Structure 1
């Protein structure tokens, strides 16, 4: 099957000339997923749904959302099928995202089946999740038993009035209960993600770090990115990496932690440890040169960059010409088609997201539809 990327915007498309189809060279299957810039891809972020129980202002509108068609959402078997092929190609970490992944009724089954996968070396894969925490108390024991290894919980403010205004929902108590459940669970490292926004929560940076320390968690600040559904992102309202570090330095001595590797967050020790804080500076200090991530949207589209305007459609490989779930026969052919698309997506990856280039265009999809 030819790997045809679908361009969903007008930014520079990935060059088709660089795309090698599976079978162009003997022995492709089982080789690592390496792009034309030498980056080895070991992380697949799988969005399970575009729906969410919150309506954060920087992510989606309060009303009028155009949700993905139910028929286009990947089923459990399809998600696991893609994950299995990816693991065979060297992917070692699978992060489940959304929307809000805990809205999937089959979430425990998804975690269990992915956690059973092995890398080519026979090692178990790592399964992580990014969540708003609202349903964690109900699901966390079963998720741990199923093989969930790491958690990131989103929390931009610990002020009740501000939380209600920012998320358009009065659910702070539910999120705090989820964080408390995660603290009791023993899953470590436990990370709390906060988007830093000017005149919104930039007066809470120190308080948020202190809150994370109290809950044995690592706070990770994220520069606000142009990923809102309404395309209203304003660079002037973004709190930069430099500003975040300057604010935190007034309270703690910050010491850089070496060995970042492909992780999106730079980390600093607070007063020589043991606690740390992270900053994900996708806008002012891009880390594209070490990026090892791919993304799979809830409707079966592969993306090689969070800001890409090109997607690679896996539905034909998974469902066949009729786009209905195929019978169990023909597994080998479907595996080959999925691997072809994975490798084509990786080979089409640009050196960077060009967010600071005048030609940059915001992706058509919002963050909830792309997956975190």
Structure 2
């Protein structure tokens, strides 16, 4: 009977862990959706404060061999806590990826403290977003219906909230500029209120949400003189400007507050008017629009040392398994699903689950003596 009882407990614990695993993902994504539009802002704000402060959920004692407290009843709070707790230090000398690849700072870090709400994570969209599975639809989100851009924007929102940055989704109006070009005046307007604005396309993700953005800027060598940073595009025939330079991809943009940055953004936004650059009007509506106008004209006007940072393609372009561009751009630190947008949703779920499954594993070992049963002879 002792063996049967033990096996029965193992069965129950396994089911509890499985249910908690999926419940955590669903509840967390729902909290992100509702809190981003104010419906549960107080709830997630209180939850985040408790998680960051390590406030206990029950009266149980703290286990010295674990980073959380005992019991399935507080599993969801514990799993979420790991996402806020395990951030890479801003001044860390290196980051080692799960595959063992090492990314090391080449110089002493310029950024040593969090920028907090002086940094804005920005999404810009001109299309309606209220349909089934879209982010502005207030109904509970079904993961099977969620569009790729809904999942990516929840990823952006989660990242901002994790590190204390501001987040905005701008519903842009197409007046003089259309589609993706509207990101440029949006950045220009919002930069007045921030030290940094970080724009991301709807297929660009943070694969490691625990890495603070200040650490990435340290890695990429952003200085006081930097106006803008963008990743090199993949090495393909269409990825070069008229001077033979590899263009920079506008799916991920970092801009820093300064008078000269505003001059750059103004030159970029007004390029199709041809008051400054001849031939630019063609790309007001034609692909690759703002991406080509920046690389073909604007960057050559703003070419002082460190003004334009070209982020390595291997760091911030492409996605795992991508074969274009010489098979070297796999989105190692920022993932851009340019030609594989259908993989975006699964990638967001993986980025969340990597933290949750770690907590499941730790909880399993905390209950090792209860759930692991040696085979009994006879």
**Normalized against structure 2, the TM-score is what?**
0.27
Normalized per residue, the structure richer in helix is 2
Q: Which has the higher contact order (CA 8 A, sep 6+)?
A: 1
**Largest Rg, 1 or 2:** 2
Greater share of strand: 1
